[in-house]
Structures are given as structure tokens and as C-alpha cells.
Structure 1
Amino acid sequence: MRSLERRTWYIITNSLLGLWMLGAIAAVTAHRFLPHSTWLMVHVTMLGAVSTAILIWSQHFADTLTRRQAPGGRASLGIRLGLHTAGAALVVAGVLTSTMPLILAGAVLVAAAAVMHAITMTLQLRGALTSRFGPLVRFYAVSAVWLIVGVGLGFWMSQVPADDPLRARLFVAHVTVNLLGWVGTTVLGTVILFWPTVLHARMRPADGSRSPLVLTASILGIVLVLAGATADALPLVAVGAAVWLVALALVLFEGTRQMADAARLSYAGLSIGAALCWLAVCAVFLAAGIGSALTWAIAVDRLAWIVQPFIAGFAVQIVLGALSYLLPVIMGRPNARKRSEAELDRGAVFRVATINAGIATYLLPVPSVVKVLLSLVVFAVFIAFLVLAVRAVVVGLRERKAEPAPATHAPGAQLRIGTKPEQAKPRRAVSGQLVTAASVVLLAVAGGIAVDPAAAGINTTGGSEVAATGETTTLEVTVDGMRFVPDVLEVPAGDRLVVEFTNTGTDVHDLTFANGVASQRLAPGESETIDVGVISDDMAGWCSVTGHRAMGMELSVVAVGALGESDEIAAHDHGDMADAGEAAAADLDFHLSPDAGFVPYDAALDPAPEGDVHEITLPVTERDVEVAPGVTQTLWMFDGAAPGPVLRGSVGDVFDVTLVNNGTMGHSIDFHAGTLAPDEPMRTIMPGESLEYSFTATRAGIWMYHCATMPMSSHIANGMFGAVIIDPPDLAPVDHEFVLVQSEFYLGDAGGTVDPDAVATQLPDIVAFNGYANQYRDVPLEAAAGDTVRFWVLDAGPNIASSFHVIGGQFHTVWKEGDYTLKDGGSTGVGGAQALDLAPAQGGFVELAFPDPGTYPFVSHYMSDAEKGATGAVHVTT
């Protein structure tokens, strides 16, 4: 009866853990529809599932190690679980609803549970008989203290404005204390004994003797982290992380030897081993990343990167591995335990290999689609544990009823220490499972791989000869907005110039000099030392990121004492390259046709997809693209096309868009189809970053979307635009729908990017429908005589207007900027229209029927623009 009660107790308490796991699954599944989705996924997993597991099983291990129940017994643990669960739920609800009293109440309850846990562990250890591993309970008491500190830091951080530098310091302390303190310290104390037990490895007399040193090093490391955050000393935080890493190294040193002696190959052992590897990787990156960070903001970015592998690679795997061993243990009887173990060990090698290969590949600089597919694969394998866990409990209970009770036995739920290793299971198809896991991961990579080469070159120019002095002048240059500070560098002629360049701006920048020497493109906060060489003449310097020089990012190097004034600066007064290449406009010939095999942009418009929620990923890419016969430019594009993909829906639909910057500079996105505060969703993100932009379409129209990063005119002119069509209610069906987006090209060098100076003149080299001059003149659209055709037209600009006209046709319906100006011939029934006039960022549609077979050209009736490429045709058949 006692055994049954104990088993039932563990099933009930672990059901609470299962509910938190289901909550984490729900948060991950629905994160696109939830506010604060990243915070929610992290905290439901860590504060909910992982912390609940720690409370339950640290008490279990404490009972085993001290060989006595905790003060208050199960009721004490029940109270702690109740307080923690209620507190965590209140914190989550408070964040989701932005209700500070709920957050405060939840934080207080979580902290109260942690205080009670620390006191319970301390009292239980003090009243216990002396045992070899009893002192490991101290790890649980200390870790509970770190949870109290972490909760306090988290609440404090929620009260600090996002732009306050203190917030970054609190973030570093909060994350480090919770990950390494609360979770990490618990694991350090547990694996000293639990790891060899899971492996059924022989423990040597000296094993575990270093536990006091491990605990001391872990405490000292966290204290140094807190001291560094308090004193605004980043190096001290890095030292603290390194000291904590020493504690982990001491544990892994013994664990590595024990793994070599392992008698069994189980999911529990494999999962825990992989988790410990990820803990080591994360701890190393934490110490190194913070140690090399120049600012707290950079430290925050690097710490945020560590959170993903820490949770998925370490925390989740350690919990699932531990449960895979412990759930069969609570079955008690041998046959029941073995049957439960068999269920939880299904596909063990495949599951562990898939999870860890998937996580490792996800962390590589792979395209966003690959990351999505890999995350789905890993997520699915994690979910499989819940299914197997339920099966293990059901099978174990069924087998237990059929199995006769032994005459004498130890309590079924006790962790058995020093038992004889069980006979190793045969390794069934291990290589086959590894091959299958590798195939699954490779298939995910192959399914989402995209190659987007981005290349840029800078030609060099020489200066006059001057005698070198042998001296070196070192100067510092920083960024303020769109200016270099200072913007005049005075250097004695003949000196070698070394520039210490730090990007203190908010966008990606570089520093290029007229002699061809240049820095790498640096993200905000990064630095580089530039050896410019011996200075013989005056020389210009600038940022080569497209458009940045036009916005004022120039500086002058003045050769003090030079014999004559150089014309270097004047010679390089314009343009973004050190030496102007061949202008692409020189290759323009609007009479030419594209090469055979040319595939035009598909102007045919599909109906809106089903459903009222649309999830879209828009990777930003850079690629050399032909924009007219024989004329290429390196365009910046949404999802590999200019214009970007056409999005379509109905009034009331929700669009959840993930923007992924796979380019080489900062980009952003602005959807005219939604109304919302632009501060967060329209912010510029750096290369490698992503953002989520969710909006609800409340009004009908053909709406522009575009990059909003300055200089905005250059970003739009270089391909970063697209259309969102929100159908008006009761939109009548027609035979054909086409979409035409008019835009302008201001050509730079052949194969280069947009010329910002040309954009400012508002005199485009090319005006095109759907990104290519005259493409539908040479490959006409298709319709039949008598068909009703609807043309959706958007003027993306960035500068000039459009007047859409079909030669030989008349519009019986015109809908512009949200309403009909003419519908089915108007009030007389015989009214017509000849052009749809649009300013930049305006759009609408026109409808007409073609009376006879033939070729009907369409143009922008600003005729000089039609002659620059804004021409197409519809081939009408019988």
C-alpha cells in the first residue's frame, strides 16, 4: 500500500510537469499569434516545466541522499509546487496582459516557493545521518537561493525602461543567475551521483569527493557575475562565468570516465550526456562572448543567442533524460520497470542524434527556411517523449498488476545507489538509427537551402610619391548618426595612418578610403583597426554601404605639409566605390529583347489563400539580377524577387510576417496594409537578425510594402518593395486578374547597386512593370476575346507617378485607393475611363473586356516613362 501511494504521488506530481510541457508545446505552436512570444516560450519552458521538475526531483534525491523525509513530508512539497505553479501562471498571465500587479504577485509566490525549498533542503540535511553523498543536498539549497535572486532581478528589470543602460546589466545578471545558478547548480549537484547511476557505471571511492570544491566554484562564479553587473564591470562578469565553468569541468572530468565504463546504452544516458555537452558549450560561449563584448548591449545580444541552445540542447534534454530513467524506477517491480524502460528507449539513438544534429545545424548560419524546418524536426522529436512517457506509465502499471509482489524488496521509488550494473542491452541497429537521423536532418537542410551570394569589390587608386617618415599616426573614428566623428583626419605627410574605427552607430557601416583600403562591414558596437598606409596626399574616406555616403558619411584625410594640394578628394567626391566602374546605363537599349529562355515575372494573380491567418517568411537577399536586356544590377529583394511576393487576403485577415535579414546591411519592412505603432515592427535589423511583424487588414486596397531603412529612396529603388492586396467585399469574379507594380531603376555601375545621387535627381534610367523593362512587350500576357480582365496596379515609386492605359481598350470599372470611381459604366451604364492615375504608393484596379483578337499594348501614359520600359502587351486570342 505504501509503495502504491508513493508511486501514485509521483504520477500526480509529474502530471503537473506534463501540463507545463503541454503549455510549452502550445506556446511554441501558437507563438506567432501571441504577444511577447519569445519571452513566453522561454519562461513557460524554464520557469514552468524545468523548474517544476527541479522542485519534484531535487526533493526525491534529497530524500534518498539523506535517507529521511523532508520536514512536512509530501505536504511540504505540495505547498511548494502549489505556490510555484500559481506564481508562474500569474507571471505569464501578467506579461501577456501587461498587468504589473499580476507579475508582482506571481514573482512573490515563486520566490516564496524558492525560500521554502531552500529552508527545507537545509533542515533536511542538518537532521540527517552522515552519508557519503548527503552533502550534495547543499547544491539544492544554494540553487533555490539563486532562484530567489533571479526572480528579483527579473521583476526589477521589468520596471526599467528599455533604453536605460541598467536594463542590459540586469538582463545579463538575470539570465546568468537563472541558467547557471538555479538550473546549472542543481544539475551539477545531481549528476555527480545520478550520472553513473543512469549509466550503471562503477563508482570509484574518490568519485564525488570534489563536490565541495564544485559547489564553492559555482557559488563564487555567480557572485562574481552579480558583482560585475552591479559595478558595471563586464570583464568581472566574464571572470565569473569562467569560474563557474571550472566547477562544470570538475564534474565532467569524473563523468567522462564514468561514461567509458557505461554498461548500458539508453535514451536516459544518451540524452543526459548530450545535455551536459550543451551545458559545456553554452558556458564556454558565455564566458568568451561576454569577455570579448565591448558593451553591455553586445553582451545582451550574445547572451540571447546562448539561451536557445541552453534551453533546447541542455535544459529540455536533461529533464527528458532524467525522467526517462526515473519514471520506470517508480514502477517498482522488475518486470514493470523493464517494460517502462523499453517504451522510453524506443528509437533512443535516432531521437538523441536527430535532436542534437538538428540543434547544431540550426545554430549555423543557414537560411531561415532551413532553420524553420530543423526546428520543426527537433520539436516533433521532443513531443514524441510525452507520447512514450504516457505509454511507459500505462504499460508499467499494467505489468505491475500482473506481476506478483516479491517477498522482500526495497521501496520502489528509491534511487538505488551502488547496485550491481544491469546486463547491457544489445545495441540494435545503432548504425541504422544514426543513418536515419542524419538523413532526416539532411533532408530538412536540403528542403530549405537557398544560396544567395553577396559580393562587392572596391577598386584602388594611387597617390603621389612622398618620402616616408617612419612615424605612425593613430587616430580614432566613431559614428554619430550618419556622420563620421571626426570627419577631418590631419596626418603629417609621410606618416603611416592607422585608424581605430568603432561603429558606435545603429546600422551596419564600414570605412573605405580612396586608396582602396577599407574595413569590413561592422555591426553596431564592433571595431576594427585599419592600416591606411603612408599618407602622401589629401584623400577621401566614406562608408560604402549603398546610400550612406549620400547621407553624409564622408571624411577627409588631410596630408599636413604635403608639397602640393592633391585632387584626390575632388576626384572621389561622388559615388560609393573607390573608382567608378562602367555605368550600367551605357548598356541600355530599349529596342533589344531578352535572351531566349527568358521567364518574365508572373503577373497572373491567384485568389487569396484559404483561412484568415497568413504566415509568411520574407528573407532579405542580395543577388545580381537582369533588369533590362544585357543590364544587370545587384538588387536587395524580399524573398528573392523584385517586386517581392504579392500577398493577398480579405478584410479582417491577420498577416504574421517574419522578416529575416540575410543581406549585408541593415533592412526593415513597412506594410501600408496595417495600422500600428511603427517603433518596433518597422525597426531596422542587422544582418543575421529577424523580426516578427503582425498586422490585421482592416481596409481594402492594393497596399505597398517596402524597406523603411534610410536612405529609403535607395532601398526602394534597389528592389525592396512589394504589394499586399486586400479584396474589397463582394469583389465580382472576372476571367483573368493580373498585378502590375511600377517602379524605377537608377542604375549604378554594371552589376552594382542603385546610384543614390541619381535617385535624388528623380530622373530614372528605367521605368518598369514588375521589375524588368518591357518584359510583357516581349512576352505578352494572355487573354481571350470577350474575357473580362482586371488589372491591379501599384505605383511603388520611389519618385514618379503613373498613368496606366491600355491601348485599344476602355475601362468600364475603375477602383482607386479604396473605392470605385467608376463601376460597370457608372450611373449611365455607358461611362468609361482611359487611364488610372497613381502617385507613388497609390494603387487600384481597372477592368475591361477586349472586343477582338489582337495585341493590346499597355503603358504608363507618361510617355517618356513608357519609352524607358513601362510598356507591355496583352495577346488576345479568339
Structure 2
Amino acid sequence: MTSIASGPTGTGDVSGPGKGDASGPGKYPNRFRASGVKARHLRAHVLVMGWLALALLAVAAQDSLPVARWLAVHMFLLGAVTTAILIWSEHFAVALLHAKIPDARGSATRLATANLAVAGLLIGVWTAQPVLTAISAALLVAAATAHLMMLIRLRRGALGGRLKPIVSYYQAAIAALIAGAVLGWLLATGGAGGPDRYAGLRLAHIHVTLLGWIGLPVLGTLFMLWPTVLGVRMKDRTTKVSRWVLWLTGSGLLVAIAALALGWRWPAAAGLALYADGAALAVNLFVRTVRGNRPVSAAAAWMLAAATCWLLIAVAADLAWLAARPLAAAQTGIDTLLPVLLIGFVAQILIGALTYLLPVVLSTGPKDRAAVRALLERGWLPRLVALNTGVALAALPLPGPAATTG
């Protein structure tokens, strides 16, 4: 396999080449264009932007809206980010496996079901309706299970190739989403028990969502997206390293989540240490991939790099908190990491990835692609500095004015 590019260097298009798609770097494969994927992506990303807008409104109304902070976090993660992951995990799985593009109606149904479930969950928690919350959680689990079955079907009979293991990251992430939905339902409906048990389940929910549902597909995708954005050859060790990273992060996260749910602090810290080892192994490969030539998209490259650094920082700090304090007390410290994970890692990785991907997927030719990329990259350096400075000021234990400035 020639990675996901149209040539052997891994420097071409990540939008999904298949047999006969060797159309040169950056060109959109004919089979994706003919199938109407471009129009589907455009419609689906309207949902992403809609959820982001609602999250910002919730942040602005946090002084007057009940559970506004909770709503903002879940509109962003469950709404915008989940929609983006569902879109791109299917897209990349098709590309990496050289598989047949799934039926458009099935994809639309899964996406609509997931978004309907998220809306129901938000309304159910906001209005304190446990029945609606439970039904919506079950609907989200059903949509996630359908997405998992779609990925499994893609692997059966597909040509596969060098980066086939990356699809396993998406499958593990779906399992994490299902676990996160169940844990979230328990927390929202009073099924978590007493304060000590609640603390463990809440931490399990946070970790399985941020490090599992979001962290795993991000790490997996970066194995092919990072060299593509840089415009360099993929390392020969990529496939082997990707398998090791999935084993370390996946098994470590499983141990950590189970231990947190049971209230076992030290096993949870040990599992998180395994996850940190896996993430560090992946970053080591990414650093070795960097070359002196100019990236295809400097904005995307710097955003992806900064977001990955914040992930490592957050996991290291998280591990320190779990190792040093009881679970109930560790919650406070881990809560201070949320700006790092939500904005520094998740939001920045989403912006960076889409800065590179959207011009490829939505443009109609080289000139159009260049125009879209120029628009998305406008003022990228001041934006990069402002965002990361803000994350640092908000996360560090500084006086109130510094946090407000952040």
C-alpha cells in the first residue's frame, strides 16, 4: 500500500485513494467525487459548526443558564467533536482499507441518530428528565454500535494495507464512547452511589471520553496525517509503532477506567502510566518524522504539534495528581486540566486537522484549494500564539486576572 497518498512517499492526498486513484498529491480521488462525498462532508460540517456555536453561546450564558458549563463542554465534545470523529473515522477507514464507500443513507442515519441522541442527552440533563436522558444514552450507544459494525464490515474483504492497524484505533474509540455514554448516564441519573463512588465514576467518565473516544482516534490518525501535512516520507517503522502505541494506550486506558470505576487509585495510576508511555512513543516517532523542508500547511502542522504537546502535558499532570492524592481530592486537580484538554488539545487538534483536510475535500481544483487554504490559514500565527497563551494562563495556578485574561 502507498499509505493514504497517491504515491509511495505518503505526501499526497489524505482524502481516500483507492485503486486507480493515483492522481498525484493533493488531488481528490475520482471515486470519492463521484459518490457525492464532498456534498455529504459539507452538510455534515454544518452540524459541527452549529454545535460549536451553541457551545460558545453556553459559555457566554454561564452566569444565567443552569448547568451552562456542563452544557458547553458536552455541546463541544459530544456535539461538535463526536460529529467530526464519526465523519472522518469512516472517511479514513475507507481510504486506509481501500474499501467500498458505505451506503450514503446508512452513514446519514448513523450521524443523524448520534446527533439526535446528543440533543436528547443535553435536554434531559438540563431539564432534569431522567427518562429522556436514559433513552438518549441508549440511542447514542445504538448509533455508536452501528458505526462500529460498519467499521468491522469495511475490514472484511477490504484490500487493507500498511496502515490498516489505524482502523483499530477507531474501533477502540467507539468502545470508549459506549463506555463513556453508560458512565455518563449513571452520573446524570443518580446511579453513581455515594460521594466516593461518584468521584471514581466521574473520573472514569472523563478519562474514557477525553483519552479514549477522542485521544485514541487522534493518535491513530496522526500516524498518517502528520507526515502528509509535513510533506515528507512516512517512516518505515510506522506500522510497527502504531501497533505498539495502540496496545499501550488501549490496555492502559482499560486498566485505568476499570480501576477508577472501582475506586482503586494506584491501579488507575499504573494504567494511566501505560497510556502515557504509548503517547510518548507515538510523539517520538512524530518528532523523528520532521524534516527541514516547508510543510504543505504550516498552520496545520504547528497546530497539530501544539495540540499533541498539550496532550502529553495533561496526561503527565493527570498521572501526578492520581499518584499523589485520593480520588475525591484528585478531582479538583484534574478539573484544572480541562482547559488544557478541551482547548489546548481537542479544539486545537480539530482546527489543525480541518485546516489541512477541508481544502482537500471541499475544493474543486488546485486554484480553489489554494484559495480555501489561504482563507483558513489567514492570521494563523497570531491565532496560534493567542490560543496557546490563553490555555497556559487558564490552566496555571495564577491570580484571578491572569485566568480571566487567559
CA distance in 1, matches of 2:164, 2:293: 24
Checking the alignment, whether the CA contact within 8 Å between 1:289 and 1:302 is kept in structure 2 is yes
CA distance in 1, matches of 2:104, 2:302: 31
CA distance in 2, matches of 1:232, 1:94: 28
Work out whether 1:157 is the aligned partner of 2:163.
no
- Percent identical among aligned pairs is 32
Work out whether 1:52 is the aligned partner of 2:83.
yes
1:10 corresponds, among 19, 36, 41, to 41
CA distance in 1, matches of 2:379, 2:261: 48
CA distance in 1, matches of 2:266, 2:373: 46
Q: Within 5 Å, which residues of 2 pair with 1:419-498?
A: none
Provide the residue aligned with 2:343 in structure 1: 312
Describe the superposition over 1:480-524 as per-residue Cα deviations: whole angstroms up to 9, x where unpaired. xxxxxxxxxxxxxxxxxxxxxxxxxxxxxxxxxxxxxxxxxxxxx
Checking the alignment, whether the CA contact within 8 Å between 2:200 and 2:263 is kept in structure 1 is yes
Describe the superposition over 1:675-721 as per-residue Cα deviations: whole angstroms up to 9, x where unpaired. xxxxxxxxxxxxxxxxxxxxxxxxxxxxxxxxxxxxxxxxxxxxxxx
Provide the residue aligned with 1:180 in structure 2: 211
1:248 counterpart letter in structure 2: A
SS for the counterpart of 1:208 is helix
Q: Within 5 Å, which residues of 2 pair with 1:723-762?
A: none
Q: Within 5 Å, which residues of 2 pair with 1:665-680?
A: none
Deviation at residue 224 of structure 1 after TM alignment: 0.9
Checking the alignment, whether the CA contact within 8 Å between 2:235 and 2:289 is kept in structure 1 is no
Describe the superposition over 1:707-741 as per-residue Cα deviations: whole angstroms up to 9, x where unpaired. xxxxxxxxxxxxxxxxxxxxxxxxxxxxxxxxxxx
Structure 2 vs 1, CA of residues 373 and 162 (structure 1 numbering), >3 Å: closer, same or farther? farther
CA distance in 1, matches of 2:33, 2:183: 42
Per the normalisation by structure 2, the TM-score is 0.88
Q: Within 5 Å, which residues of 2 pair with 1:543-558?
A: none
Checking the alignment, whether the CA contact within 8 Å between 1:201 and 1:261 is kept in structure 2 is no
Q: Within 5 Å, which residues of 2 pair with 1:676-755?
A: none
Q: Within 5 Å, which residues of 2 pair with 1:807-846?
A: none
Q: Within 5 Å, which residues of 2 pair with 1:378-393?
A: none
SS for the counterpart of 2:290 is helix
Work out whether 1:100 is the aligned partner of 2:130.
yes
2:186 counterpart letter in structure 1: W
Deviation at residue 200 of structure 1 after TM alignment: 1.2
Work out whether 1:65 is the aligned partner of 2:107.
no
2:375 counterpart letter in structure 1: E
1:353 counterpart letter in structure 2: V
Provide the residue aligned with 1:168 in structure 2: 199
CA distance in 2, matches of 1:370, 1:188: 32
1:91 corresponds, among 113, 121, 134, to 121
Deviation at residue 369 of structure 1 after TM alignment: 3.0
SS for the counterpart of 2:294 is coil
Checking the alignment, whether the CA contact within 8 Å between 2:58 and 2:69 is kept in structure 1 is no
CA distance in 2, matches of 1:61, 1:233: 37
CA distance in 2, matches of 1:369, 1:242: 34
Provide the residue aligned with 2:360 in structure 1: 329
CA distance in 1, matches of 2:192, 2:85: 32
Provide the residue aligned with 2:328 in structure 1: 297
Provide the residue aligned with 1:30 in structure 2: 61
Structure 2 vs 1, CA of residues 359 and 226 (structure 1 numbering), >3 Å: closer, same or farther? closer
SS for the counterpart of 1:33 is coil
2:159 counterpart letter in structure 1: L
Deviation at residue 161 of structure 1 after TM alignment: 6.5
CA distance in 1, matches of 2:149, 2:292: 37
CA distance in 1, matches of 2:142, 2:166: 23
Provide the residue aligned with 2:222 in structure 1: 191
Checking the alignment, whether the CA contact within 8 Å between 1:290 and 1:302 is kept in structure 2 is no
CA distance in 1, matches of 2:46, 2:261: 40
SS for the counterpart of 1:263 is coil
CA distance in 1, matches of 2:346, 2:336: 15
Unaligned segments of structure 2, at least 5 residues: 1-29
Structure 2 vs 1, CA of residues 296 and 272 (structure 1 numbering), >3 Å: closer, same or farther? same
Checking the alignment, whether the CA contact within 8 Å between 2:252 and 2:270 is kept in structure 1 is yes
Work out whether 1:250 is the aligned partner of 2:284.
no
1:324 counterpart letter in structure 2: T
Work out whether 1:267 is the aligned partner of 2:299.
yes
SS for the counterpart of 2:238 is coil
Provide the residue aligned with 2:266 in structure 1: 235
Structure 2 vs 1, CA of residues 219 and 161 (structure 1 numbering), >3 Å: closer, same or farther? closer
Provide the residue aligned with 1:109 in structure 2: 139
SS for the counterpart of 2:165 is helix
CA distance in 2, matches of 1:262, 1:320: 23
Provide the residue aligned with 1:873 in structure 2: none
Unaligned segments of structure 1, at least 5 residues: 375-878
SS for the counterpart of 1:277 is helix
Checking the alignment, whether the CA contact within 8 Å between 1:201 and 1:263 is kept in structure 2 is no
CA distance in 1, matches of 2:282, 2:70: 31
RMSD between superposed Cα atoms in Å: 1.7
Provide the residue aligned with 1:135 in structure 2: 165
Deviation at residue 365 of structure 1 after TM alignment: 2.8
Provide the residue aligned with 1:798 in structure 2: none
CA distance in 2, matches of 1:54, 1:161: 28
CA distance in 1, matches of 2:192, 2:376: 46
Work out whether 1:144 is the aligned partner of 2:174.
yes
Provide the residue aligned with 1:388 in structure 2: none
Describe the superposition over 1:511-548 as per-residue Cα deviations: whole angstroms up to 9, x where unpaired. xxxxxxxxxxxxxxxxxxxxxxxxxxxxxxxxxxxxxx
Describe the superposition over 1:355-404 as per-residue Cα deviations: whole angstroms up to 9, x where unpaired. 10121122223332332232xxxxxxxxxxxxxxxxxxxxxxxxxxxxxx
Deviation at residue 73 of structure 1 after TM alignment: 2.2
Describe the superposition over 1:129-157 as per-residue Cα deviations: whole angstroms up to 9, x where unpaired. 13111221111011101100111111112
Work out whether 1:75 is the aligned partner of 2:105.
yes
Describe the superposition over 1:545-576 as per-residue Cα deviations: whole angstroms up to 9, x where unpaired. xxxxxxxxxxxxxxxxxxxxxxxxxxxxxxxx
Deviation at residue 7 of structure 1 after TM alignment: 1.7
The runs of at least 4 consecutive aligned structure 1 residues that moved more than 4 Å come to none
Higher strand share: 1
Checking the alignment, whether the CA contact within 8 Å between 1:268 and 1:325 is kept in structure 2 is yes
Deviation at residue 3 of structure 1 after TM alignment: 2.3
Checking the alignment, whether the CA contact within 8 Å between 1:224 and 1:237 is kept in structure 2 is yes
Work out whether 1:353 is the aligned partner of 2:385.
yes
Checking the alignment, whether the CA contact within 8 Å between 1:125 and 1:135 is kept in structure 2 is no
* Higher relative contact order, chain-length normalized (CA < 8 Å, sep 6+): 2
2:52 corresponds, among 8, 17, 21, to 21
Deviation at residue 201 of structure 1 after TM alignment: 2.0
Work out whether 1:221 is the aligned partner of 2:252.
yes
Deviation at residue 230 of structure 1 after TM alignment: 4.1
Structure 2 vs 1, CA of residues 69 and 18 (structure 1 numbering), >3 Å: closer, same or farther? farther
Checking the alignment, whether the CA contact within 8 Å between 1:160 and 1:166 is kept in structure 2 is no
1:133 counterpart letter in structure 2: L
